[in-house]
Structure 1
Amino acid sequence: MMKSNTSKPSTLTFWSMVWLLGLAGQLCWNMENQWFNTFVYAKIAKDPTIISWMLAISALATTISTFLFGCVSDRMGNRRSLVSIGYILWGVFTILFGTTQFLKHGNSDETALTGIALAVVAADAIMSFFGSMGNDIGYNAWINDHMTKDNAGGLGASLAVQPVIGTIAGTVLGGLLVGADDNYMRLFAVMGGLVILLGIVSLFGMRDVAGLKPSKKGTFTQQFFSIFDVKEYMQHRELVWVNLMLAVYFVSFNVYFSHLGNFMIYYLGFTADTMGLIEGVGLLIAMFSTIPAIRLIRADRSSLIILIAIILNSIGLLIIGLFVSPENVNTATIWNPHLLAGVLFVGIGYILFLQTITVWSKRLYPEDARGSFEGIRIVFYVLIPMVVAPLISNPIIKNSGEFVDEYGFTEYLPTNTLFLAGVMIVLMTLVPLIWADREHRATRS
């Protein structure tokens, strides 16, 4: 591994790395969450089971990566190496993922499709492994190292806005790159190349915080397995409830968002580029909600922001679930008031929730184990939601969205029911919110 350079970076350099690395990472995650799923429907088969396996296995790979490299990062006292190496390999395997489409020849039989599906799932898992190394652990632990009372609101806003910008840019740009000819290889090559480039840039522009030191607690094995000390983790009572909030909210999110692209393209009938514009307009307006939220976070009103976020999220999901259907949308234009309003409310709720809970959780990490605690966070942010959500969404799609195409093949398309299920689950986030707020008030008093 490279020796960490801990000289103090300029403010401009620091914020440039925050935004360049953050946006590149979010573009790549958006591509996985949004376009990998439409890629499966376009190039492999219209079957949500493949997507379910992709979510579950990639979540497992991500979690293993965060625990492994979180421990490595803490012991080395180095974040930059993980970011640089992780981003470069992330980009390489993103490009290689696209080559799985060439495994399918014509109307492959069921056995051949099973083999192709396994290859797609495996390629996605490898890509996620290195993406987590570079972004979830390297980049996020680096952000946490640099977080102070003065910049916490700004960094929290950055981390919340970046996924939204990544969703907007990734969806719009992705639609343009895929194009009418469904050229997914072009998309993967461009996005993968961008992440490789930023990984190289981080070698020269990124600096670890000056006070970062190796934190070695016994052997590597002892330190690695100490992460799984449930008794010690449970002592951080406020963080336990904050992480439970994260898990419940993102179970709901993954129930509908993983299938949003296919819902809009294959069920409602929009093209990929129009879908991107509809999402982009709503989320672009929603981004402005981060500005007042920064002030409220500084005023220690995180519980209030999350309550508002849950309510707005629920309203948006209800609008889409109850008032958006193939019969009442105009696929020739982005002007579809019900759909735009639903996306806007969901977007505001998502941004406010992620912005607030990111700062809330990071403030509770032990200073000498931030890398390891990022790994714990991934269990609640990625592993639990991506394993549990398909168990809910897959049966819903199979039961409510079964269609037979003109050639007699059965297709399963996501329908409005997913969004109504999302409402019921997201409201359950209120339970851990109440307990997290109680713990926070008790600690503060």
Structure 2
Amino acid sequence: MRDFAIVTCIIKKNRGVFMSNDSKKLGKLSSRIWVSVFLFGIIGQVAWVVENMYFSRFMQNEITKAPYATTLLVAWSAVFATLSTLIGGALCDRRGKRKVFICWGYVIWGFTIAAFSLVPMQPTKEKVLPVVILVVVMDCIMSVIGSISNDAAFNTWITDVTNTANRAKVDTILAIMPLVALAIVFGGFDSLTNNNATVSDWQKFFLIMGIIPTVGGALGLFIMRDKEGIKPKSDTSFFSDFIYSLKPSTIKQNKMLYICLSGNMVSAIAYQVYVNYLFNIVEGTLKIKNYIIPIGIIMVVAAVVSVIVSTAMDKCGKKHFYYPTIIAGIIGCIIIWSAKFFVDKNEKAEIAILIIGGILVIGVSLVMAGLFTASYRDYIPQGKEGLFQGCRMVMYVLIPMIIGPIVAQVIINAANKGVSENNIVYPMELFLGAAVILLFCFIPSKIVRNKQNDYHNELMENLKNNK
């Protein structure tokens, strides 16, 4: 396959494959920008890791294992996150400001996380549903604040300060932030959230996690700067801006942008099939008690590989990476699924399979996010960066976080027929479901890669001419 010629591209430096000095200069970012990228990228993802993974674990361990609760939690959060991003993106462009929404948003975000320490845990059977509803409502409030500050304002700021010469690198670095955040939360605070955690442990966990974004937002007030020259946009109504990226005429005029997002969408649906049950799969289904080291290896290796690949993407062009990435993801899902055959038989083999498959699955999810997101940013019309954050949320968050958990619920229910709620086991077939969904990534990938080279060269030429 031609795409695997990427190795040749990386080796043959002397043949002019790598970026010219001009291209490197075009892609250079200031130290202040990089500090802001890392500060708000990592802290924002710490908050999202808590929301995306630990709220699910909290629901499953302290409220109810029934999959309907996790599905409601994830789906309603996605709805409110999407609406908030549509509003936040429009506000960013109309005010011509990003920093104020990001920094103060992070400060408030922390308080909404800390509030979870007040949730009544381990309810009686009669009180399960009211507590489920309470947690879902609190999650929606947290998602509103996080989506305006991070998904809308921060992502708009990223589009402002980057260009086609550095977007693949920046977006892949941002894509590994959830992994780094997971390593921080998982490595530092797992004892407060595992199956042996007490009510007091969970309360401490939420208080600590709430402090992080609040402090980060306060620091950002002294570090972050908006890009110069951004003017408030007030030539259209707020409602027009709110629905702009969802209008058929906008979609028709920006087809490639939406095709890039459709690739993100399919990849995210596959990810959402298993991610909300990941901790309990490793600890419960696979019965791996000492899982911190294997998961640590997966996260570190996947992060390193994704950064290396992102650098190659900027240097050699994104075109060559679509097909190999999808194939690696499918293989990874199948490998992890096969670990089920070694449960209670050979733990060393089970852990080895988990590590190999995990590196592929997690690494691919990071690369796919960076790959399609960087391509999507390239197609955003100048001056409308905030307006296009809403459609990204619809396709990258809302749809995946509704479809993925529903698919997961169907698979879980099918595997647990006749099993009581307290004895539900989350099946490894969740990964097979994800593998099947990943097959559909080939459709947008084929379209995007066919257009990639010419458009990339056009953008690079425009950048040089504008310098």
Match of 2:224 in 1: 206
User: Which among 140, 143, 146 is matched to residue 131 of structure 1?
Assistant: 146
* Structure 2 counterpart of 1:264, from 254, 268, 282: 282
1:94 and 2:110 correspond = no
Please report how far the alpha carbon of residue 442 of structure 1 lies from its aligned counterpart in structure 2 after TM superposition. Answer: 6.8
* Cα distance change, pair 157–388 in 1 and its aligned pair in 2 (3 A): closer
Q: How does 1:357-396 map to 2 (within 5 A)?
A: 357-396=372-411
In 2, Cα distance between equivalents of 1:307 and 1:161: 20
CA distance in 2, matches of 1:222, 1:160: 31
- How far off its partner does 1:16 sit? 1.3
Among 323, 326, 351, the alignment partner of 2:366 is: 351
RMSD: 2.2
> Does the 8 Å contact 1:321/1:419 carry over to 2?
yes
Q: 2:351 aligns to what?
A: 336
Matched-pair identity in %: 25
C-alpha distance in structure 1 between counterparts of 2:48 and 2:256, whole Å: 28
Verify: 1:162 aligned to 2:177, yes or no: yes
Which of 205, 214, 217 lines up with 1:196 in the alignment? Answer: 214
| 1:414 corresponding residue in structure 2 | 426
The one-letter amino acid paired with 1:427 is L
Matched, 1:246 2:264: yes
**Separation in 1, partners of 2:249, 2:335:** 43
2:438: which partner in 1? 426
CA distance in structure 1 between the partners assigned to 2:297 and 2:349 by the alignment: 9
Superposed, 1:23-422 pairs within 5 Å as 23-102=42-121, 104-105=122-123, 107-109=124-126, 112-178=127-193, 180-182=196-198, 183-271=201-289, 274-299=290-315, 301-325=317-341, 326-328=343-345, 330=347, 336-401=351-416, 404=419, 410-422=422-434
Letter in 1 for 2:177: Q
CA distance in 1, matches of 2:345, 2:266: 32
Equivalent residues in 2 for 1:432-443, closer than 5 Å:
432-440=444-452
Amino acid at match of 1:238: M
Return the alpha-carbon distance in structure 2 between the equivalents of residues 329 and 360 of structure 1. Answer: 43
Check 1:437–1:151 CA distance in 2 against 1; reply closer, same or farther (3 A cut): closer
Q: Please tell me whether the aligned partners of residues 277 and 334 of structure 1 are also in contact (alpha carbons under 8 angstroms).
A: no
Residue 22 of structure 2 is matched in structure 1 by none
- Cα deviation 1:105-140 (Å, max 9, x = unaligned): 4x332xx21111111111111111111111111111
Cα distance between partner residues in 2 of 1:195 and 1:402: 42
Residues 85 and 393 of structure 2 are in contact (CA less than 8 Å); yes or no, is this contact kept in structure 1? Answer: yes
Displacement after TM superposition at 1:173 (Å)? 2.2
Q: TM-score w.r.t. structure 1 length?
A: 0.90
The question of whether the paired residues in 2 share the 8 Å contact of 1:168 and 1:276 is answered with: no
State the shift of 1:186 in Å: 1.5
What amino acid sits opposite 1:424 in the alignment?
V
8 Å Cα contact 2:336/2:353 also seen in 1: yes
Which digits, 9 at most, give the CA deviation of each residue in 1:67-99, with x for residues without a partner? 001000000000011101221121111111232
Distance in 1 separating the partners of 2:346 and 2:272: 24
**Match for residue 5 of structure 1?**
none
**Which letter maps to 1:374?**
Q
- Kept in 1, the 8 Å contact 2:109–2:146? The answer is yes
**Residue 336 (structure 1) shift:** 1.3
1:428 aligns to what SS in structure 2?
helix
Name the aligned partner's letter for residue 283 of structure 1: M
Report the residue type matching 1:289 in the other structure: V
Secondary structure at the aligned position of 2:405 is classed as: helix
| Mapped partners of 1:263, 1:295: distance in 2 | 33
Shift in Å, 1:334: 11
CA distance in 2, matches of 1:313, 1:321: 12
Q: Determine the C-alpha separation between the residues in 1 that align with 2:403 and 2:147.
A: 20
3-state SS of paired residue (1:327): coil
Greater shift, 242-251 or 232-241, is seen at 232-241
Aligned length: 425
Name the TM-score, length of structure 2 as normaliser: 0.85
Letter in 2 for 1:338: I
SS where residue 207 of structure 1 aligns? Answer: coil
Per-residue deviation, 1:317? 0.6
Change (3 A) 1:178 1:258: closer
Single out whichever of 349-358 and 134-143 deviates more from structure 2: 349-358
Q: State how far apart, in whole Å, the 1-side matches of 2:254 and 2:216 are.
A: 36
CA contact (8 A) 1:403 1:412 kept: no
- In structure 1, stretches of 5+ residues that fail to align are 1-9
State the 1:32 CA deviation.
1.6
Going from structure 1 to structure 2, the CA distance change for 1:374 and 1:226 (only over 3 Å counts) comes to: closer
Aligned mates of 2:158, 2:73 — CA distance in 1: 28
What is the rounded CA distance, in whole Å, between the counterparts of 1:328 and 1:130 in structure 2? 47
Following TM superposition, by how much is the alpha carbon of 1:216 offset from its aligned partner in structure 2, in angstroms?
2.0
The secondary structure found in structure 1 opposite 2:125 is coil
Please say if residues 157 and 355 of structure 1, whose CA atoms lie closer than 8 Å, have aligned partners that are also in contact. Answer: yes
What amino acid does structure 2 have at the position aligned with 1:13? R
SS in 1 for 2:119: helix
Counterpart AA for 1:209: K
CA contact (8 A) 2:107 2:218 kept: yes
Quick one: which amino acid aligns to residue 178 of structure 1?
T
Q: Alpha-carbon deviation of 1:292?
A: 3.7
